[in-house]
Amino acid sequence: MDNPNLRKAMAYAMNIDAVAKRYYHGLSFRVNTLIPEQFGNYTDKSIKGYPYNLKKANQLLDKAGYKKKGEYRVQPNGKKLVINIAVRNNSSTAEPVWQNYIQQWKKIGLNVKFVGGRPMDFNNWVQDVQNDDPKIDVFEGGWSLSSEPSPNDLYNEAAPYNMARFVSPTQSKLLANIDSEKAFNPSYREQAFKKWQKWMYDEAYVVPTTNSYSVTAVNKKVSNWSLKPSSNNWFNAGFTK
């Protein structure tokens, strides 16, 4: 998987918008960058992500030397290419959604298969991903947002949740800038976030797919309630007659 064009081609072949509409009833939507819009100016809105584009996916693979040999493409060195993906069996839609993506990748000549032949039990997925099991080439995953947008806890060299094990001197510097002393200046930190996002977009070793809406029902008699990260719900909430 150590080729950004291969990774980008897989992303462009994913029909994420159609999947979100078909399976998630409008509560899920494609995202373009790893810093979502909830974090305001820290999000780089100039990044367009990887919208569905089979033509571009094929062009990237052709350019990178992944030639068709029969039904599927082979590696630039001529060797067989099989991509094993680890998927969590965490919902009734997991298998049909990822079977769909496997079919999409087949359209661009990529032979992608489930690790073990099907979506994995969650505990097995955690164990194999955390242990960097060599049978996994690609995995999907998800996380919840916190009030602090720093990506250091997911992507830096010492981060236990850096499951992709991708480390680069360039990225280490970009991540350090985000949480540096200089970053106490909001303008500096905003630019540091955007430089990191652009670099991640170019490398495509982690590709954002979807975000989702969370619906919270609040009685109209509750006042001062907010779900913004800057709001402290418990101290500010009140009740009206």
CATH number at residue 123: 3.10.105.10
Residue 139 lies in a domain: yes
Q: How many CA atoms lie within 13 A of 19 on its CB side?
A: 24
Give the mean model confidence (pLDDT) for residues 38-50: 94
Tokens of 223: 């006042």
Residue 167 lies in a domain: no
Tokens of 73: 């493409």
Give helix then strand counts, H and E, for the chain. Answer: 9, 9
Residue 82 lies in a domain: yes
Residue 133 lies in a domain: yes
> Could you tell me the pTM of the whole model?
0.89
Give the mean model confidence (pLDDT) for residues 9-38: 93
E strand map for the chain: 28-30, 68-69, 72-73, 82-86, 111-114, 138-139, 210-212, 222-223, 238-239
Residue 8 lies in a domain: yes
Residue 134 lies in a domain: yes
Range of 134's domain? 4-145+205-239
Spatial distance between the Cα atoms of 85 and 114, rounded to a whole number of angstroms: 5
Q: How many domains does the chain have?
A: 1
Output the pLDDT for position 223. Answer: 84
Mean pLDDT of the chain: 92
For 82-123, what is each residue's pLDDT tens digit?
Answer: 999 999 998 899 999 999 999 999 999 999 999 999 999 999
> Which burial class, exposed, middle or buried, applies to 178 when counting CB atoms under 10 A from its CB (0-12, 13-18, 19+)?
buried
For 122-171, what is each residue's pLDDT tens digit?
Answer: 999 999 999 999 999 999 999 888 888 999 999 999 998 899 999 999 99
Output the pLDDT for position 63. Answer: 96
Residue 28 lies in a domain: yes
Spatial distance between the Cα atoms of 11 and 34, rounded to a whole number of angstroms: 14
